[in-house]
């Protein structure tokens, strides 16, 4: 029996496997950045890598499986960026909240195709509420909750903290969504003051 199947990390074969998987994801991300999820084609990825067609199915069971992997990666990246931004220990709660907001924006503006991937994923046919996806999305949200827990009165109820975290999330998401689609640019508006105002208002609320 042995049941070894295709464990990823063990041995030389596993290393090679993981490396090829990363290469595939890298090329896929490039295609995504250029033409959006619609333009992500396994065939094109294979051609870029110099292999031909069905070879990729050794590494990803389907096109959607590859997409899901990219989404999960993006969630982890975003969460890491947010954590890094709020990790400065000397900063107070308000500063950390500002840093969180700016980090969120910077990540989204820097890689808009990946940000879209996070919030538009359900469109692409696969189940957006599958386990790894839900688990990954909680990561990013968890960072926000943590920061807000430090900001509010220590006696604040968890439910209230969750509500404020959600408000923060919604405001940031709203601004970011409009910004990366070019809605601000097409109106001749500078989005930066809007972020300042929205985050500032939340800090005020937290102190109240």
Partner DNA sequence: CGAATAAGTTAGAGCATATAACTAGTAGAG
Partner DNA sequence: CTCTACTAGTTATATGCTCTAACTTATTCG
Residue 76 interface partner, choices a copy of itself, DNA, none, CB cut-off 5-8 Å depending on type:
none
Tokens standing for residue 20: 């090829």
Asked if residue 7 binds a copy of itself (CB under 8 A), the reply is no
Give the three-class secondary structure for 44.
helix
Q: What residues contact residue 95 under an 8 Å CB cut-off, 6+ apart? A: 88
Is 57 or 201 the residue whose CB approaches DNA more closely? 57
Per the CB < 8 A criterion, the answer to whether 103 and 82 are in contact is yes
Report the run of H or E that residue 102 belongs to, with start and end. helix 93-110
SS3 of residue 127 by DSSP? coil
106 or 134: whose CB is closer to a copy of itself? 134
- The least CB distance from residue 17 to a copy of itself, in Å, is 29
Angle at 172 between CA 166 and CA 175, to 5 degrees: 140
Identify which range of 50-58, 83-91, 149-157, 191-199 contacts a copy of itself by CB under 8 A. Answer: 191-199
To DNA, the closest distance from the beta carbon of 70 in angstroms equals: 13
Q: Give the dihedral of Cα atoms 72, 174, 200, 76; nearest 10 deg.
A: 0
20 binds, among DNA, a copy of itself, none (CB under 5 to 8 A by kind): DNA
Q: Does 171 bind a copy of itself (CB under 8 A)?
A: yes
Q: Which residues bind DNA (CB under 7 A)?
A: 2, 4-6, 11-13, 16-17, 20, 40-44, 46, 50-55, 57-59, 61-64
Distance CA 178, CA 91 (A): 30
* Contact code string over 88-107 relative to a copy of itself, x by CB under 8 A: --------------------
């Amino acid at each position: 029996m042995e049941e070894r199947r295709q464990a990823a990390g063990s041995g030389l074969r596993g290393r090679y496997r993981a490396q090829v998987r990363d290469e595939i994801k890298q090329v896929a991300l490039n295609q995504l950045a250029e033409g959006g999820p619609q333009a992500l084609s396994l065939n094109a990825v294979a051609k870029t890598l110099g292999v031909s067609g069905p070879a990729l199915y050794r590494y990803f069971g389907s096109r959607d499986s590859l997409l899901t992997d990219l989404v999960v990666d993006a969630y982890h990246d975003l969460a890491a960026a947010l954590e890094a931004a709020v990790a400065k220990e000397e900063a107070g709660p308000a500063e950390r909240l500002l840093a969180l907001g700016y980090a969120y924006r910077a990540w989204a503006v820097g890689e808009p195709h990946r940000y879209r991937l996070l919030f538009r994923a359900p469109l692409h046919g696969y189940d957006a509420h599958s386990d790894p996806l839900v688990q990954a999305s909680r990561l990013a949200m968890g960072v926000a909750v943590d920061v807000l827990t430090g900001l509010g009165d220590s006696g604040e109820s968890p439910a209230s903290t969750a509500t404020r975290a959600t408000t923060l999330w919604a405001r940031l998401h709203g601004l970011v969504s409009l910004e990366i689609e070019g809605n601000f640019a097409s109106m001749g508006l500078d989005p930066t003051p809007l972020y300042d105002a929205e985050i500032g208002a939340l800090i005020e609320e937290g102190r109240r």
